Structure 1
């Protein structure tokens, strides 16, 4: 377990009247702090801590300009995010409509395929029946190839 660093502070008073605070770190806490600064991936030091910017007066022009720029940036970011969500929803709706149209087309084409299969099978069945039946034209001496379909003998 790592312990929080323990520091002893001493105030020294130099002859010019300015106080200086010196910090002495306890040896055990220094080892714990050193151990905490290394990651578990080979002992590389942890990333540096980002320092805060000095506090600006809220009444200053620079502060107000920064706030205005930030407010505009936030407003634009939210507007872009909202627009992206609307565009995505519109695309979803378009794809749903297209999907419905395609599903209806699939049903129509499936029905058409079924009808055509039935016609084909009926035709194939009729051809098979005609091929197995003896021809009645053999008794009359005329062949079906020479028959032009007329019944009056022309």
Structure 2
């Protein structure tokens, strides 16, 4: 009886102490908002997925996804003064794999410049944090 109690106590403490970087936050997408418009526009215009895939292809065997609601605009700078069309966008993104398992946090700085042939250029990529994957997802980590 005491062995069972000890086993259940240990098992319970392991389960409750094991924390994952999973977000189950409700986001209302039934109504359009300025925030949703900006997030969706950034996903269309900036090569965020490409930049993330390029970095994480060295670490993971599958490509992570960046969801629009996991993009945080840190700063937008207008370069060249009022009404110029040169911008620096600083973004913080949290890419995920599988059932929304966060793999890291990254900061990306894009330069938007009408004189650049492709208009948008990634000028800085900082990997801020790596999140641990659960045991059943560790097989995607490159050795």
TM-score w.r.t. structure 2 length? 0.22
Bigger radius of gyration, 1 or 2? 1
Greater strand fraction, Structure 1 or Structure 2 = 2
Greater helix fraction, Structure 1 or Structure 2 = 1
TM-score w.r.t. structure 1 length? 0.21
